[in-house]
Structure 1
């Protein structure tokens, strides 16, 4: 008995801890800390639904308790009046669920249609230019590509967007099914290889300030052995800073190494890497030919391969053996083994790939 009681207490403690920890989360990664219009609307729906269902549970528990107490069997008690086939009860327990479903359905359907309205995506001004920012998102095993088609900019792994406005997305996949998800900004959207899904997100500037303008995005669809490591970063910045970033990217030129080591690294890159990777933010290459991440502005990124610290040591470890970090990635075995001095030079060159930070 005591042994069973100890196990019951331990199970209770674990259950309580799990419940408490389930509500924890960093603001840059938690869906429970909304940072934009879409996420806030979805969060409010969650709370609304949770409130309705909590009320239902309370009513059911109270009725259950009343029945247990009032109609419990007693010694020599008479059998209570039977109510099988009561039309009144049948109407009550049929109508109440219908009302609950309608109460839940109306705001949910309204929000779904509101968030699915992407008609403004193609709205143009008198000069024929889109009035809203549109980003083409393309998922790969296991990285993300972001194309600002109207701006002539192509990047990967770091998504840069302005705050306090709607940003529209065309989402697709280059290989298998993925799912585009930035938890604090809104629900996930499937990235399919055969069709394009569309939606919009927005970021509140004050929420971006709370996380130093960096949010984290993930793949939310099991897509292979490195699904858990298919991350990307979202830089949400004010409009004037975004305009400056756009100007810097549009005016970017071929990178020029500034040291002898970086110059040697450029030679290594041209011999081993340039057939797959680009180093300028141009979107001239057709989508079908983009087999590896664009490395423009690599020196200013937040991470290496989306998951490692952004420094030369991590970069060299990644280049040397990408399979140990992202099993099943397409970079493994795609280039010849490099000597240590070649790795040093290549890392120095890549870390100098910066746009707008001279």
Structure 2
């Protein structure tokens, strides 16, 4: 019995140690514990405040429990029950007032910060971005710039960005942990949130609401650059060339016009049921999760469901020669732009 108890304790200790080690794993750009903007900073401060209060309460209760455990344990030679003490008005008032005071300490900054984050800014005060969530990708529109794009969200540093979020299908949630959030995207309704990146960098975003088979793969990337770099990106995206350069790419363009343009746009032409592909070759990831290279693109076009289960892109059952032509054409859709940030 004793050895079984020791085995259980060793197993518990191993699990606790492994849990502690695993907390250090993960992507630092996908963590609310590394805030990189004023919204994330204020939310992180609230987390530290509440954690500190809860840790303090736990410590006091634990110390009192240990004191009572030792002070009032059964003594050697003791018979019968010890003297019973019932009721203490002073103690009852203290342990009623203290939690009330602690709740006030947490509630006041929480409500204050909550109202501040609820503010909505017009285009004179913040850049406007419309976000539409789809199963399982993200669409970004810059209404004042006339830009539609997908998966890669470019924003200028040191400037508020007012997001208007909605959904094209089911409920999703827009979340950029290092910048703040999250907020639900509801079909047929709009929610609003503002965020700001204080320094250049690449920050990961996720869908934080279970939304279907590929929910875990519904990622996007935020690229925060200075204002000059952002303006350069916007200008080059709007003037991007979509003219194919090789004969194979010209064949791919014809395949695209015949099979793909109803759902996907390149430049100002095409549908919006699928991601805009104007700068597809400039993105580091395909479908938000795959390395952006010809081999992975060929696999995606061959069988999208095998690569990202549950997504809404149908298998067009194209022959390999047409897929090769499409890969060539889409591989040329690149803007001459360097954001100056390390690749991820």
Band the TM-score falls in, shorter-chain normalisation: over 0.9
1:100 maps to which residue?
102
CA–CA separation in structure 2 for the residues paired with 1:89 and 1:193: 53
Which aligned segments of 4 or more residues in structure 1 are displaced greater than 6 angstroms?
none
Shift of 1:131: 4.1
Q: For the aligned residues, what is the CA RMSD? A: 1.9
SS in structure 2 of the partner of residue 150 of structure 1: coil
Is 1:163 matched with 2:157?
yes
Residue of structure 2 aligned with 1:270, choices 250, 257, 260: 257
Is 1:82 matched with 2:85?
yes
Are 1:249 and 1:356, in contact at CA under 8 Å, matched by a contact in 2? no
Which digits, 9 at most, give the CA deviation of each residue in 1:231-264, with x for residues without a partner?
11111111100011122223335x1001111111
CA–CA separation in structure 2 for the residues paired with 1:308 and 1:200: 29
2:18 maps to which residue?
17
Q: 1:42 to 1:24 in 2, by over 3 A?
A: farther
CA–CA separation in structure 2 for the residues paired with 1:292 and 1:191: 18
2:228 maps to which residue?
240
Which digits, 9 at most, give the CA deviation of each residue in 1:307-349, with x for residues without a partner?
000101001101111111221111023x3x1111211110110
CA–CA separation in structure 2 for the residues paired with 1:348 and 1:194: 38
Are 1:217 and 1:232, in contact at CA under 8 Å, matched by a contact in 2? yes
1:84-233 alignment runs, 5 A limit: 84=87, 86-118=88-120, 121-122=121-122, 130-205=124-199, 208=200, 213-233=201-221
Shift of 1:19: 2.1
What TM-score do the two structures reach when normalised by structure 2?
0.92
Residue of structure 1 aligned with 2:293, choices 311, 315, 328: 311
CA–CA separation in structure 2 for the residues paired with 1:40 and 1:186: 8
Residue of structure 2 aligned with 1:349, choices 302, 323, 329: 329
2:47 maps to which residue?
46
SS in structure 2 of the partner of residue 122 of structure 1: coil
Shift of 1:357: 4.9
Consecutive unaligned residues of structure 1, counting only runs of 5 or more, are 124-129
1:126 maps to which residue?
none
CA–CA separation in structure 2 for the residues paired with 1:47 and 1:16: 23
Equivalent residue pairs, number: 335
Is 1:279 matched with 2:266?
yes
Shift of 1:81: 4.6
What TM-score do the two structures reach when normalised by structure 1?
0.89
Are 2:125 and 2:160, in contact at CA under 8 Å, matched by a contact in 1? no
Are 2:173 and 2:183, in contact at CA under 8 Å, matched by a contact in 1? yes
CA–CA separation in structure 2 for the residues paired with 1:10 and 1:98: 39
SS in structure 1 of the partner of residue 322 of structure 2: helix
